[in-house]
Amino acid sequence: MPWLRLVATVPPQQAENLSEALLELGALSVDLHDADADTPAEQAIFGEPGEPGAQLWSHNRVTALFAEDAPVKDIMLQASHAIGLEQPPAWRTETLEDNDWVRLTQAQFEPIRISQRLWIVPTWHTPSDPGALNITLDPGLAFGTGSHPTTRLCLRWLDANIRGGESVLDYGCGSGILAIAALKLGAASAAGVDVDAQAVQSSRDNAAANRVAAHFFLPDDAPRQQADIVVANILTNPLKLLAPLLASSARPGGRIVLSGILEEQADDVANLYAQWFDLAPAIVEDGWACLSGIKR
């Protein structure tokens, strides 16, 4: 049978309370996303080591799933009143046809060819090239499946620049894909750091599935040591905030790779990191930029 999906955009002080109220009134599931995702206003939830990260975005999209016959308008009114709102926030409903959601989701994710020798392959697919360097990775809760330009840019840089024996630090590791790829490409060691405990666990699981000895940490647990290559595929604002930390994590003569940067923001990030690194021109794909440089 079809389903109804309610979508509302709310400020951070209302998002969690509205989500809970919708669940109490019969929503089958509720989730929260950044309403500004994939725009220049996209906001990362992050924090410096030892400090709490932001809890919610400036504009939150609350998405709730209901049965087809649910009185969604009445539920939205009741939920809004329950959290002290006289009028509901802006909202809409969408109809979702009944489908084999697992099959449809899997069909969206085919093997991704990153370079001549590097592929990302979901577990339900047979590798297109068994002789290639195949990274086994399924879509999950953590960012980084190879489908986004920022991830591909970082993977291609690693493929072109790892010569063998390097130490690699992936700050904001998400799924762990960059650390895993680094080891498959010949790095001697790779560690990842993420403020999200779920991402750290996802990275550990993915490393085990790929039979590589990458190590992943929350920021306060990460060892304090410099790496030959530091890669950070996050967003412009956290890259700017974390610049001193990331710079200090690269050894003199080491390399840094920065992505998650919109093309129009590349000069701003480059100007900041130029105080520590000699940077190459940005590489751009689909409006996203990747910066790299050598530490002086």
Give tens-digit pLDDT for 54-85: 457 778 899 998 888 999 999 999 999 999 99
DSSP 286: T
Output the CA–CA distances (angstroms, integers) from residue 234 to 68, 159, 170, 225, in the order listed: 38, 19, 10, 21
pLDDT confidence of 274, banded at 50, 70, 90?
very high
Which single residue is written with the structure tokens 């109490």? 24
120-156 pLDDT tens trace: 888 777 777 788 899 988 765 455 666 788 999 999 9
Looking at every residue in the chain, the average pLDDT score rounds to 87
pLDDT tens profile 93-103:
988 776 655 55
pLDDT bin (cut points 50, 70, 90) of residue 276 is very high
Q: Which residue has the higher pLDDT, 213 or 112?
A: 213
Q: What per-residue confidence (pLDDT) applies to 55?
A: 59
Domains, the chain, with CATH or none: 3-98 (3.30.70.120), 151-295 (3.40.50.150)
Please tell me the distance from the alpha carbon of residue 17 to that of residue 22, in angstroms, as a whole number.
9
- Quote the pLDDT of residue 226: 97
